[in-house]
Structure 1
Amino acid sequence: MVKPKLAPPADDKPVKVTVELPAGLHRDLVLFGEILGRAGGQGAVEPVRLIVPILERFLATDRGFAKARKGDGK
């Protein structure tokens, strides 16, 4: 079984944002939520609940962003 690199999203007070996703990306998020749910022994995770943890993980692992954030954006 494939183990996703993303943990199930934690409950936190959200800030409302409206965004339009391409249909293909939405399908991928639905599939990812199903896989994540199976891996965690739960039901599928709703795509909207995946967006924040995916973005957080992306930003946390982006070396260019980390450098720029520290003020060394050379």
Structure 2
Amino acid sequence: MKRRPIIVTALEIAGLALLALAGWMVRPEIGLLIAGVGLVLVTVGKTKGQNPPRQAQANDFGNTAEILSFIVNKRKP
């Protein structure tokens, strides 16, 4: 698992802060909107690659087939 460098996150936050400040100068609501959306995007970007997808195992498909056969045949396990 490869982590994002902290400098990348710091640069993203600094850029978003400048955008929010520019938006604030136009209208305060725009600045707050940019800051809120930017905070969500940075948080999602930091947590996105934390858990790599697990490879499917044969047992996963076997359990699914058993469950489907019980539903189709309407019998108890």
* TM beyond 0.5: no
TM-score (norm 2): 0.30
Q: Rg bigger for which structure?
A: 2
